Amino acid sequence: MAYGDITATIVDDLLLASDNQPHACHVSGNVYALVSAGASPLMIRTYTVSPAGIFTDTPIDSLGIASPNHVNYPTITRIASGMYAILGSVGNTMGWRIITVGIDNAGNIDAAVTETQDGDAAYDNGDPSQNGLINVSGDVWAFAVYNL
């Protein structure tokens, strides 16, 4: 099989029973971060995935972020070495939230959130699954919030 060929069989899967709306990003080497919205809290977990596509069933580390309002459709993006931003919609039409947290190359997640910023509900009238972070240049980032 050549690189890039898609096989008809699943190599491995990882079932997270209480999580939904997952989003993953590469951390380093075989380490990946997964953020997901469950009932509560918002969960960040790190896993290894071998070059053959095999997941570790037990996370390297995890962090639950309690929130008075449910965060929907979280996305996780590496914004600097060891620093990741999570963007999500809060509640149904209550605005947006950006959370930053440290994750080292081995997959260890800092025990506390670095920063949390909430935004105005006027900018969250659309489909929160369309939100995203965009690197403008260097350490300057923009976030796009889908608005009808």
Walk along the chain (148 residues) and give the pLDDT tens digit of each residue.
Answer: 577 777 777 777 777 666 678 889 999 999 999 998 866 678 899 999 988 888 888 999 999 887 666 777 888 999 989 999 988 877 655 677 888 999 999 999 998 887 777 776 555 455 555 667 888 888 888 877 665 4
CA distances in angstroms from 96 to 23, 111, 116, 120, listed in the order given:
17, 23, 11, 7
Write the CB contacts of 86 (distance below 8 Å, at least 6 apart in sequence). 35, 42, 44, 71, 74, 75, 76, 77, 98, 99, 100, 101
Would you call 86 helix, strand, or coil by DSSP?
Answer: strand
Give dist(CA 71, CA 116) in Å, integer: 12
Residue with the two structure tokens 């920063």: 115
Q: Give the predicted TM-score (pTM) of the model.
A: 0.81
For residue 32, the cross-strand partners are 26, 47
